[in-house]
Amino acid sequence: MGKVTESHVLSQSFPDISFDEVYVLSNGTVNGERADSFPLQGEKLTIGVCFCDTQSFSYTLTIAEDSHINLYVCGEEDSCGELQILCGERSECNQIVIQQNTTQQTYTINQQKDSFFKAGFFQLNGKKNVVNLVVNKESEQANTDLYGVFMPMQDEIHEIITRVNHDAPECETNELFRGIADDNGEGTFSGLIYVAKDSQKTSAKQQNRNILLSKEARIHSEPQLEIYADDVVCNHGSSTGQIDAEALWYMQARGIDKVTATKLLVGGFANDVLEKISDEKIRMFISKHISEKLA
């Protein structure tokens, strides 16, 4: 399989990231060659993936046992596709997805024993961005950390839909998502955590909070738990409201203009999500983008 060393969309979405390997997925090909899978093995490999599909294709990424992969994913305008990630025993995958174009992406994650999958999803621009994510915990002590920010503004629709299936005992899931909507933007978070009957000692948390910056903005929030085991610790929560008018007035009364004050308050609202990003350069890039879009 030919190795691609540059991708314009990847460099825009993840500036200053040095990739060990880059995979461009385009209509049933990987880096221009007919393929539907690519295996990864190694310690702390940094991988870039760009969806260029004009039709929906499925690709499989296999992470070998004991491997540690940093995975950065983006998509070209009007792209779509599915990425299946197979996490081997004791493997670790740290994934960041940035959507700045209209793109629909589906992820299916299968986790083996002692694997760790951490993924952040950031829908920053694009007339319609969709993420469909399914995580299957196939063995015990498979842990998952999901987080993200979606911010639809004028004429934009952003959707994040997750389902985490606890089909094995002693697994953990944490979900933390923030929505920010302005103008007539429309956002959706729909998350389901399923705990099977024999999946005892499950720990699962799901939280979604949203801010509406205009009367026309809409965010639909549907956190869900479906539990059939009795020895579990699971909770979920959701809230949607407007920016704190008292805090905004307080800042304006001290000489801070409304736009700057709004940026600061919304930045603080998103900060607990951004803190989960281990790469400081990516964290600052997303924070700056949120601030600039609010202007």
Residue 130, C-beta contacts closer than 8 angstroms, at least 6 positions apart? 103, 104, 105, 158, 159, 161
Q: What is the pLDDT of residue 180?
A: 95
pLDDT digits (tens, 9 = 90+) for 137-168: 999 999 999 999 999 999 999 999 999 999 99
Percent of the chain predicted with pLDDT > 90? 79
pLDDT digits (tens, 9 = 90+) for 15-32: 889 999 999 999 999 999
Residue 243: left if φ>0, alpha if ψ -120 to 50, beta else—which one? beta
Q: Tell me the whole-structure pTM to 2 decimals.
A: 0.93
Q: How far apart, in whole angstroms, are the C-alpha atoms of residue 81 and residue 28?
A: 10
Q: If you average pLDDT over each of 42-46, 70-74, 241-245, which comes out highest?
A: 70-74
pLDDT at 5 over 70: no
Domain extents for the chain?
8-243
What letter represents residue 140's amino acid? E
pLDDT at 4 over 70: no
Q: How far apart, in whole angstroms, are the C-alpha atoms of residue 213 and residue 207?
A: 20
What letter represents residue 264's amino acid? L
pLDDT digits (tens, 9 = 90+) for 196-227: 999 999 999 999 999 999 999 999 999 999 99
- Per-residue pLDDT band for 295 (boundaries 50, 70, 90) equals confident
- Per-residue pLDDT band for 264 (boundaries 50, 70, 90) equals confident
Both tokens of 191, joined, read 């998350």
Residue 165, C-beta contacts closer than 8 angstroms, at least 6 positions apart? 134, 135, 136, 137, 194, 196
Q: What is the pLDDT of residue 2?
A: 41
Q: How far apart, in whole angstroms, are the C-alpha atoms of residue 227 and residue 208?
A: 19
What phi and psi values does residue 266 have, to the nearest 5 degrees? -70, -35
Chain length of the chain? 295
Q: How far apart, in whole angstroms, are the C-alpha atoms of residue 95 and residue 233?
A: 26
H or E element that contains 170? none
Average pLDDT, the chain: 92
What letter represents residue 227's amino acid? I
Q: How far apart, in whole angstroms, are the C-alpha atoms of residue 152 and residue 159?
A: 9
Q: What is the pLDDT of residue 6?
A: 59
